[in-house]
Amino acid sequence: MIGTILNSWALFSGFGLIMLAHSLQGTLLNINAVLYDFSDFEIGYTFTGYFIGFLFSSIQCPKLIKNVGHIRVFAAFASLGSIAILLHWVIVHPVAWLGFRMITGFSFAAIYIVCESWLNDRADNNSRGQLIGFYMIVLYFSNAGGVMLINLKTTTEAHLYILTSLLISIALIPILLTKKPAPEFTTPKFLSLKELYKKSPMAFVGSFAIGMIYSALFGLLAVFGAKIGLSVFQISILVFVNVLVGAIFQYPVGKISDKYDRRTILFVLNLIAIASLIFAFLFGSLSFYTLILFIGIHSAVSLPYYAVVISHMNDFLEKEEIVSASSTLTLVNALGMVTGPLLASGFMAYFGAYGYFIYMIVIYSIVAPYNFARIRVGRTSDIYDDNTPSMIVPRTASPIGMQLATDQIINKIEEEEEKSNDL
């Protein structure tokens, strides 16, 4: 395993620095949007810009990489992302920030696609699982570490903007200096939305809904913290716990979902999420530690939710359909993310800061009855394999990243088929 990882050191180190910068700038801009007296509506549409850019990049960047190559695309969009964060400090206006966030979303999605496709090329049947596992470790720990960097300086000064820009720029160095050749690039194939819904209605609805949750959970949690008067250090701890607890519970929830009907697991996760958010709404104001407790419980069930959704979808697919269906599901998830910040900020404007929790409770409460109905309907597809292995998928995964994860699942399926044939 060590040799495999060392062989990809440039990729992992560059990606880790990018994720540090990504996490730092997200928290920084969330806090400053409140300090700069942006209205709830302005905060909503400003941070929606990131997900709009991310969505369009997921569709367009694979073609760009195919035409000009991985290294040029990485260098170009890392430079663009480095410039965009500095512009937030130069021009403090919600409309300008909307444009800058769109540029950032487009740039970071391009970087993810480059890293994930490069990683997919490096992986073989013997190393793919190890690479995915280490990729997840780098992603979540860099995310958590980036949040804590917010405590280094006052958020409204230029220092943290410059630090974010520096981290992105430094990330270029190992990638540009690597001796390893850039891989050949294959544009991902997509299943139609209609066909995807027909294959797995619960996966389609669940992916869209959890996208709405994730964009609010990760896009506006620091905004919520700032609005209720938490210190910068307390906000960083809140976001840190949200990221780390969710990462820790990815694997155990995935293993449990391998043993039971995944729709039932999704329903249980839904109910726990609703309960934790209701308690956060009712008792979160009692103390900071109470708030952290319920945020942590919610994170433990919400972050693994998307991976269970994808695994559920795979249960109803032929082996050769998994990659294209997963790519489409990623775009459905991104569409949900586009709507999240604007709707969540609307709830916060109407109900106050704790409308943040009401928004997520409403989303889960809409999905739960549909989820229960799908359990009652039963299996409507001739194709069903409840032994399809679970997947651990980062919330930032692009269609290429989904291909990396699904290739691992396909390999596991093929191994099981070979064992069955031997018997």
pLDDT tens, 305-354?
988 888 888 777 776 676 677 778 888 888 999 998 999 999 999 999 99
Rounded alpha-carbon distances, angstroms, from residue 113 to 273, 323, 329, 343, 398: 30, 15, 16, 28, 6
The answer on pLDDT for 384 being more than 50 is no
Query: How many other CB atoms sit within 10 Å of the CB of residue 154?
Result: 10
Cβ atoms of 66 and 177 closer than 8 Å: no
d(CA 362, CA 377): 23
Please provide the distance, in angstroms rounded to a whole number, between the alpha carbons at the two ends of the chain. 30
The answer on pLDDT for 382 being more than 50 is no
Across the range 221-226, mean pLDDT stands at: 93
Structure tokens at 320: 């050769």
Cβ atoms of 332 and 207 closer than 8 Å: yes
Structure tokens at 9: 């050191």
Number of helices and strands in the chain (H, E): 18, 0
Task: Note the pLDDT of residue 315.
Answer: 78
Exposure letters 23-58 (e unless 16+ CB within 10 A, then b): bbbbbbbbbbbbeeebebebbbbbbbbbbbbbbebb
Higher-confidence position of 183 and 109? 109
The answer on pLDDT for 131 being more than 90 is no
Positive or negative: CA dihedral 57, 59, 62, 67 = negative
Q: Averaging pLDDT over each range in 223-237, 240-254, 365-379, which range is the top one?
A: 223-237
pTM, to two decimals: 0.81
Phi and psi dihedrals of 346, rounded to 5? -65, -40
The answer on pLDDT for 232 being more than 90 is yes
pLDDT bin (cut points 50, 70, 90) of residue 378 is low
- Average pLDDT for the chain: 83
Residue among 191, 117, 184 at smallest CA distance from 404: 117
The answer on pLDDT for 383 being more than 50 is no
Task: Note the pLDDT of residue 421.
Answer: 56
Question: Tokens 């990882």 belong to which residue?
Answer: 5
List pLDDT tens digits, range 253-298: 888 888 888 899 999 999 999 999 999 999 999 999 999 999 999 9
The answer on pLDDT for 387 being more than 90 is no
Class of domain 2-422: mainly alpha
Task: Note the pLDDT of residue 64.
Answer: 83
d(CA 293, CA 300): 11
Write the CB contacts of 87 (distance below 8 Å, at least 6 apart in sequence): 96, 100
Q: Averaging pLDDT over each range in 1-5, 335-339, 361-365, 399-403, which range is the top one?
A: 361-365
Cβ atoms of 179 and 59 closer than 8 Å: no
List pLDDT tens digits, range 5-33: 677 777 788 888 999 999 999 999 999 99
Helix, strand, or coil here: 353?
A: coil
Task: Note the pLDDT of residue 183.
Answer: 61
Task: Note the pLDDT of residue 265.
Answer: 92
Which 8-state DSSP code applies to residue 184?
Answer: P
Q: Of 3-12, 225-234, 397-406, where does mean pLDDT reach its minimum? A: 397-406
Structure tokens at 96: 């300008």
> Which amino acid type is present at position 328?
T
Q: Is 387 exposed, middle or buried (0-12, 13-18, 19+ CB in 10 A)?
A: exposed
Query: How many other CB atoms sit within 10 Å of the CB of residue 152?
Result: 11
Across the range 112-120, mean pLDDT stands at: 75
